[in-house]
């Protein structure tokens, strides 16, 4: 196997024996094959569109779910991935027939699944592209598209589609196997991916706020109640909604975990009396926290850590998520899912063991921050707030990530953190206080809500009458882990944001030359020590 798509890749180079995430070589092989056949299918859908023929939303959804399935920590279940490969090949055959003349199709679109899959997989993975710069750009684009697929899927689950985003996604995916494209063309395609990343996140924002209202300032309980509970993790709000509906009157409480925390900020979820609070921290502490939760856990998406036997029977998956031996709750887009198995399971479990008590505050997505715009602008004008520090992105288990806790603690008292994604758990329970009533950590929501941070920045630019988004008193110190952070990064680059610091390490999939392009054109940099970076961002503060 060879995989270097996430920040924790072995030795900052690539996982070759087994994944640091727990992905086995057999699973890596079928994931590579799934990406490959999805590229083939995308070449056909792109050719169909070029002929003016329609491509249905169901086909678009299959493609995005395929890519989502291969995101870090989403799906470890070889069988379900193989089933997706078969379904993709069947669809490929049907669509190729609709195309008529298939002579112009690339090789990838012609493979019909014949032969030994393990052998085939060994020829189509990341290393099948020999030139390291082309490989780097192809993977940068592919990972961005994986992130975009995840966000699209959540919007689709709320019955929102953007056909243009899907058409681009498939065109770009097919282009990653086009040998005629130059480095410059691939760099341009990576930036275009960022453009559609903005559209995809905007679509999801519209879907979430349309269905559940605009996030608002909310205090979230981090203690526990006396009833047995179900813990929901991942990013899919529609799954949470169905679970909340089905648990009413059952005596079973519902808690969020990791990236599901921001669900509490939406008005629509406040009406459920059994929606008790948030349990635990970011994804990587789940071995201890799922153990002590005592009840069933629903993983709606990444990040799954391979479970311990002690609670494996309590771990359920749905959507793109999967783990062998764990029950998967089925349900396509638009269908009602049946969570009764979890509810019955919960009734037999002890209530969660308390980990902590208190509250965390969040809900600072764009509408809420813009409602406070006068106060914020005044604080900036008066000098009470000197700088905003965007510290969005992912958390992870690497010790080097303690940097973010220390950085948050050491920030000048007139700096405000803007966050989104599970990166926030590195500092969202610190007593950082507020500035004239404005908390010093403003949590917009999930990683996709980084879109909100961009909307806020663009609004501030307008209010302050600036021509360039980089003239705002905002610095970017972003933590990444998996591929959704890649689409967020590409989206920020597309919006013209410069000098983003990315850590705790730069992606292994950036070749030296590609990294140089990003450094020279966008000022992308890694992180240093807390002291060095504070001096860099704040001068002699
Ligand atoms: Fe390694 Fe990350 Fe790939 Fe897992 S997802 S195999 S940790 S690079
Ligand atoms: Fe976290 Fe996995 Fe990326 Fe959505 S849950 S931010 S790492």
pLDDT in tens, 232-262: 999 999 999 999 999 999 999 999 999 999 9
Mean pLDDT within 338-352: 98
Q: What is the DSSP string of 364-414?
A: --HHHHHHTHHHHHHHHHHTS--EEEE--B---S-GGGHHHHHHHHHS-TT
Query: Is 290 near ligand 2, meaning CB less than 6 Å away?
Result: no
- CA 295 to ligand 2 centroid distance, Å: 22
> What ipTM was reported for this prediction?
0.98
pLDDT at 109: 93
pLDDT at 181: 97
Mean pLDDT within 120-125: 96
Write down the pTM of the prediction. 0.98
* Best residue among 300, 422, 486 to mutate for probing ligand 2, ranked by most atoms within 8 Å of CB: 422
pLDDT at 101: 84
- CA 413 to ligand 2 centroid distance, Å: 28
Question: What mean pLDDT, rounded, does the chain reach?
Answer: 97
Mean pLDDT within 342-354: 98
Cβ contact 135:181 at 8 Å: no
Q: How confident is the model at residue 540 (pLDDT cuts 50, 70, 90)?
A: low
* Best residue among 302, 423, 502 to mutate for probing ligand 2, ranked by most atoms within 8 Å of CB: 302
Percentage of residues in the chain with pLDDT exceeding 70? 100
Rounded CA separation 391/421 (Å): 9
Mean pLDDT within 267-281: 98
DSSP 276: E
Mean pLDDT within 506-522: 97
**270-288 b/e (C-beta count within 10 Å ≥ 16 → b):** eebebbbbbbbbbbbbbee
pLDDT in tens, 397-435: 999 999 999 999 999 999 999 999 999 999 999 999 999
Q: Is 533 exposed, middle or buried (0-12, 13-18, 19+ CB in 10 A)?
A: buried
Query: Is 125 near ligand 1, meaning CB less than 6 Å away?
Result: no
The closest residue, in CA terms, to atom 2 on ligand 2 is 303
**456-486 b/e (C-beta count within 10 Å ≥ 16 → b):** bbebbbeeeeeeebbebebbbbbbbbbbbbb
Predicted confidence (pLDDT) at residue 111 exceeds the cutoff of 50 = yes
Residue 85: CB atoms within 10 A of its CB come to 21
Q: How confident is the model at residue 265 (pLDDT cuts 50, 70, 90)?
A: very high
The closest residue, in CA terms, to atom 6 on ligand 1 is 19
Structure tokens at 469: 């988004």
Count of alpha carbons within 13 Å of 368, Cβ hemisphere only?
24
Which of ligand 1's atoms lies nearest the C-alpha of 508? 8
Predicted confidence (pLDDT) at residue 541 exceeds the cutoff of 50 = no
Query: Is 6 near ligand 1, meaning CB less than 6 Å away?
Result: yes
Q: How confident is the model at residue 539 (pLDDT cuts 50, 70, 90)?
A: confident
Query: Is 410 near ligand 1, meaning CB less than 6 Å away?
Result: no
The closest residue, in CA terms, to atom 5 on ligand 1 is 72
Q: At which residue do the structure tokens 């750009």 appear?
A: 137
Mean pLDDT within 491-514: 98
Percentage of residues in the chain with pLDDT exceeding 90? 98
Mean pLDDT within 204-226: 98
pLDDT in tens, 283-331: 999 999 999 999 999 999 999 999 999 999 999 999 999 999 999 999 9
Which residues is 322 bridged to in the sheet?
A: 75
Predicted confidence (pLDDT) at residue 356 exceeds the cutoff of 90 = yes
Task: Specify whether the backbone of 518 is left (phi greater than 0), alpha (psi in -120 to 50) or beta.
Answer: alpha
Query: Is 21 near ligand 1, meaning CB less than 6 Å away?
Result: yes
Q: At which residue do the structure tokens 């008005």 appear?
A: 267
* Best residue among 304, 395, 426, 483 to mutate for probing ligand 2, ranked by most atoms within 8 Å of CB: 395
User: Which ligand lies nearest to the CA atom of residue 283 in the structure?
Assistant: 2
Query: Bigger pLDDT: 176 or 107?
Result: 176
Q: Is 289 exposed, middle or buried (0-12, 13-18, 19+ CB in 10 A)?
A: buried
Predicted confidence (pLDDT) at residue 172 exceeds the cutoff of 70 = yes
């Amino acid at each position: 196997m060879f995989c270097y798509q996430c920040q924790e890749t072995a030795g900052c180079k690539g996982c070759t024996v087994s994944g640091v995430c727990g992905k086995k070589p057999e699973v890596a092989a079928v994931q590579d094959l799934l990406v490959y056949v999805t590229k083939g299918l995308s070449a056909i859908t792109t050719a169909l569109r070029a002929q003016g023929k329609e491509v249905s939303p169901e086909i678009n959804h299959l493609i995005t779910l395929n890519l989502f399935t291969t995101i870090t920590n989403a799906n470890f279940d070889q069988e379900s991935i193989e089933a997706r490969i078969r379904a993709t090949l069947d669809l490929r055959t049907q669509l190729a027939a609709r195309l008529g003349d298939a002579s112009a199709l690339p090789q990838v679109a012609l493979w019909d699944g014949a032969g030994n899959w393990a052998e085939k997989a060994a020829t189509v993975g990341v290393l099948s592209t020999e030139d390291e710069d082309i490989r780097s750009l192809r993977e940068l684009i592919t990972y961005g598209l994986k992130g975009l697929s995840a966000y699209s899927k959540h919007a689709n689950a709320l019955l929102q589609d953007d056909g243009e985003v899907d058409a681009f996604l498939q065109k770009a995916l097919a282009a990653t196997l086009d040998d005629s494209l130059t480095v410059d063309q691939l760099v341009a395609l990576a930036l275009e991916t960022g453009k559609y990343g903005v559209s995809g996140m905007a679509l999801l924002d519209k879907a979430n706020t349309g269905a559940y209202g605009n996030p608002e300032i909310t205090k979230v309980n981090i203690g526990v109640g006396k009833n047995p509970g179900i813990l929901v993790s991942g990013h899919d709000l529609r799954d949470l909604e169905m679970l909340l509906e089905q648990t009413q009157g059952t005596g079973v409480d519902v808690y969020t975990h990791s990236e599901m925390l921001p669900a509490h900020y939406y008005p629509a979820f406040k009406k459920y009396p059994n929606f008790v609070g948030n349990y635990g921290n970011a994804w990587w502490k789940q071995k201890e926290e799922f153990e002590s939760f005592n009840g069933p856990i629903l993983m709606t998406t990444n990040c799954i850590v391979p479970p311990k036997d002690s609670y494996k029977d309590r771990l359920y998956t749905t959507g793109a998520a999967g783990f062998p031996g764990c029950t998967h709750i089925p349900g396509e887009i638009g269908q009602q899912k049946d969570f009764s198995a979890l509810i019955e399971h919960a009734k037999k479990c002890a209530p969660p063991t308390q980990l902590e008590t208190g509250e965390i505050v969040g809900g600072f997505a764009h509408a809420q921050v813009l409602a406070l715009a006068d106060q914020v602008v005044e604080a900036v004008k008066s000098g009470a707030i000197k700088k905003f520090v965007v510290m969005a992105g992912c958390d992870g288990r690497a010790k080097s990530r303690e940097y973010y806790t220390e950085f948050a603690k050491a920030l000048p008292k007139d700096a405000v953190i803007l966050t989104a994604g599970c990166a926030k758990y590195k500092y969202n329970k610190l007593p950082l206080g507020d500035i004239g009533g404005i908390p010093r950590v403003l949590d917009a929501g999930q990683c996709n809500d980084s879109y909100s941070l961009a909307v806020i920045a663009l609004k501030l630019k307008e209010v302050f009458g600036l021509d360039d988004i980089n003239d705002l008193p905002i610095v970017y110190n972003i933590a990444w882990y998996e591929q959704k952070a890649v689409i967020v990064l590409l989206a920020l680059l597309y919006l013209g944001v410069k000098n983003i610091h990315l850590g705790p390490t730069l992606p292994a999939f950036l070749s030296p030359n590609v990294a140089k392009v990003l450094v020279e054109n966008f000022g992308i940099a890694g992180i240093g020590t807390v002291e060095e970076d504070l001096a860099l961002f704040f001068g002699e503060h």
